[in-house]
Structure 1
Amino acid sequence: MRIVATCLLLAMAAVYIVTRQYEGLHPAIGYIRAFAEAAMVGGLADWFAVTALFRHPLGLPIPHTAIIPENKDRIADTMAAFLQNNFLTPGVVARRMAAVNTAAAAGAFLADPRTGESRLRDGAAGLVADVLESLDPEKLGGLAKGALRGQLEKFELSPLLGQLLGAAIADGRHMPVIESLIRKTAETLEANEALIQETIHERANAILRWTGLDEKLANSILDGLYKLLAETLVVPDHPLRRKIEDGLQTLAHDLVHDPATRAKVEALKREVLANPAFARWLDALWERGRTRLLHTVRNPQGALGGQFGASLAELGHALQRDVQLQRVVNRFARRTMVGVATRYGAQIVRLVSETVKRWDARTVTDRIEGAVGRDLQFIRINGTLVGGLVGLLLHVLDSAM
């Protein structure tokens, strides 16, 4: 466009020179000369005006030229103030965000598996992989294991166990455990009948062994135990069953409310945490977790597909259809953006201002001229044509007089 504008100016100069030589051949040539003369003046004037914005015309230090390079810092501050006053004020951000359905837009993004699922999955996987591979595994493992151990040491286990046990008893979920314990006891007795009989035989006196009563005594004891366990298993209100339930309820209550019981559980927990076997288990757990996570993030298409993509798509459809959910998400997005503008608006515009100030004059000139230069050359072209028309009009008026 600069070449076109310059060629047009040169063409007007050539027309002026030619018509100046042959003006007497015909009256119409005077009109052409007047048009070319005024067009040449208009084109030169607009060339000077456009050039003066960015540099000194012909390299001459004419006052009030090279306006943008000379006022670079002031332009940077003005741009920053303009951005802050017109875009980053809480009121402007709130009004703008009120007209944007952020939730629906996010839902459309997530519901499309070609964009939402793949881009989020690949982006998250790449970020996690970069972080894991850039950090020292030993130091990272030490931090992770130390954090986990610290949380376990601060966490009081007894109330949680008591609440879980109490909830299980209230829902009747403890009964299968009791019944399984009774069956295991019966199986243990059956598997060790010979040992029990031998023990009774050894501890019986000589008279019992001589009369054979020790064997009957052992069989009676075993039969009684089998009968007791069978009745406990079959009869819902059996005294032994109630005794076990009462014991469990007492244990659940003491785990929550009894300081002595809670202290015993905490002491046992500290012993477990201090045991070298726990440290080895924690090391193995960390290594398995780290290896599995690295495998997952390095293969996001297989590991994070399927359920992950389905969950994202389901969330996207919910954001598109659920008006109440949209209202909540949009309100959160609006408040977040207003908060960002309030807290960081000044820092954002300061970043713009300082960035422009750090540019050298040539960089500022090239970037602004590159952004609006085409329109500036149209100013030169229009100035040439408008100047010519004005010159032609003045010549017509002068001839009429």
Structure 2
Amino acid sequence: MRITATLMLVLMAGLFILSRQYLDLHPAWGYLHAFAEAAMVGGLADWFAVTALFRHPMGIPIPHTAIIPENKDRIADTMAQFLRTNFLIPSVVARRMQNMNMARAVGGFLAEPTQGSQSRIGSGAAELLAGVLESLDPDKLGGQVKAGLKSQAKKIEISPLLGQMLSTAIADKRHLPLIDAIIRWSGLTLEDNEEMVRQMISERANGIIRWTGLDGRLSASVLDGLYKLLAEVLVDPEHPLRDKIQEGLDQLAHDLVHDPKMRARVERMKDDVLENEAVARWWEGVWERMRAGMIRMARNPDTVLGGQLGSSLGELGDALREDTQLQTQVNRFARRTAVGVATRYGDQIVQLVSETVRRWDARTLTDRIENAVGRDLQFIRINGTFVGGLVGMTIHFLDGLFYG
């Protein structure tokens, strides 16, 4: 297409020279001459405009040319800021999670039947244990167990425990499957929201890019680059992005242990869950099923204790699926967690995007974008040649009409 557009420009130059020889023979040659002259001007002007997007025309460092390579770092910062202001602000995260019912999804998972491990108890100890458990008043003991568990849970500050667990998992490299899952989820989320991303990039593109039709191609190139980046991160255990995620997890583990605000936030979420009546009923049900299960296991050592725990988890799953109040509490906890992550670690994510784009080679980036949209860019030159010629003929006609 570049050769075609250039040959059209050469053709117009030939017509311009040829028609100049016969201007006195017939008025039609004047129209052809005006068409060729204006077509050359239009073709050259559009060649300059298209070339200036990607490089200096003829290698001459004219101001405001080579726009994309000269502004690569600014483009990186703009993309990062776009991500920060449109995706990683608390109000956007909260709104996106408003219609997500995570509690119901977890409930559906827990409601599935599970299998436990077998254990045996000697006949004498088993009989004694069964007699003790049967002698206890179920209702009174259930209330005491519920109150005791709730009291103990309130005394335990879970934020440091979570931080230490996360630190231990990171030290043992047990967090790597979680990172892979996050990367895959990011790719699926990006795929599900491709049209929204394309539209947002198009709306924020400047007038020149929209006029040249680059906004669609640029959004496609950005999406392709993001997909490629996610694929590279997924298959390359030494990728710099993994280091950034690692830094974020290390910071989260540190904040869970040492940041008073983070610890207070986690404690408030824990208290909200403990005060829910559905959770209280679940505590009672867990104890009663554990007691009944231990009695059956004591009477029959072949009984599967894990099966009773699985049944209790199934009951919790049913509660999560059916109790809207409990769903509200759990979903609020998840939403607050996501908003907190966006608030505290959004700047690190934005910095990662900016640094990644800055590391891209300017020439490679420019060549890829130009190859992706090159056909349409050359059509701009072709159209400019034709439109310029038509404008030249029109001016020639008006000139002859009013001043001939």
Q: TM-score, normalised by structure 1?
A: 0.42
Larger Rg: 1
Would you tell me which structure has more helix in proportion to its own residues?
1
